[in-house]
Amino acid sequence: MDQPNIARFVLCRLRGYPRLYGLFTFNQLTDEFTSAQWLARSTTTNKCTPLESNVDYPGNDLASTNQVSADFCCADCDATVGCTAYVWTSFNNGTCWLKHSLGPKTVSPGASAGSVQPQNDLCTPVEANVDYVGNDLTLTQRPSVNDCCSDCDKTVGCNAYVWTNYNGGTCWLKSSQGDKVYVAGAFAASMVRQRCNAFEDSVDYVGHDLTSTSQMDASLCCNDCQNTPGC
């Protein structure tokens, strides 16, 4: 139970690495340290975007593998260093053309194209042929939709993005999703904002300070960290 007339304050110390914040709570009766951090983000698994039918991205080939179906190309690309995209054709009874980046998009009857997206809990799975209308904050030039999630995470206020092949590849960073519409060749996803894990009492994480905020309660530090780029 809180003691009456006891001065108490919370200093949120926001840290950049590892992704966490340190929290120092003090009152005149006892010294308390309370710490928490962002839930760990998984980067160990991968999956691919939905296949685009009758599409080829010429050039940028790294290697090729023989597979009877486009469904098997994702694993081959994921296992090949530097591969971010692939195209499957019926050449030689089925071939996955593994690529380091997406080139210009062309129509190729019978071909199927996809790309590997690193899986983490930052962003939702990418939706193919989808645009979120309006709410643009800014744009970045990126050759692949796989690069947009990180750009959105680093942009204050960004909660969704759309990638198109405009100008060689563009991430349209948005404050919110807006209306979902069909746009051939566009890829869309949104951010998954993190919650913080349970507090660790009497614990501090030393160093890596970015900034600090004044709050009356430890629970408010999580939101401050979430809204601070790099925290």
HEC string for 163-212: EECHHHCEEEEECCCCCEEEEEEEEEEEECCCCECCCEECCCCCCCEEEE
State the greatest distance between any 2 C-alpha atoms of the chain, in Å, as a whole number: 81
What kind of architecture, by CATH, is found in domain 127-190? Answer: 3-Layer(bba) Sandwich (3.50)
Q: Which of 193, 183, 102, 103 is nearest to 152 (CA)?
A: 193
**Among 41, 42, 39, 44, which Cα is nearest to 20's?**
39
Where does CATH 3.50.4.10 sit in the chain? 52-115, 127-190
Model confidence at 148: pLDDT above 70:
yes
How far does the chain reach from its first CA to its final CA, in angstroms? 32
CB atoms within 10 A of CB 167: 8
Q: Which helix (H) or strand (E) holds 75?
A: helix 73-78
Q: Is 37 a residue whose pLDDT tops 70? A: no
Residues 6+ apart with CB under 8 A from 76: 65, 67, 83, 86, 96, 98
Ranges 2-6, 62-66, 196-200, 221-225, most confident: 62-66
Give residue-wise pLDDT tens across range 166-195: 998 899 999 988 889 999 888 898 887 655
pLDDT of residue 26: 40
For all residues of the chain together, what is the average pLDDT? 77
> Does pLDDT of 39 surpass 60?
no
If pLDDT is split at 50, 70 and 90, which confidence band does 20 have?
very low
Fold of 52-115: Hepatocyte Growth Factor (3.50.4)
- Residues across the chain: 231
Please tell me the distance from the alpha carbon of residue 29 to that of residue 187, in angstroms, as a whole number.
56
**pLDDT band at 132, cuts 50/70/90?**
very high
pTM (two decimals): 0.46
Percent of the chain predicted with pLDDT > 70:
72
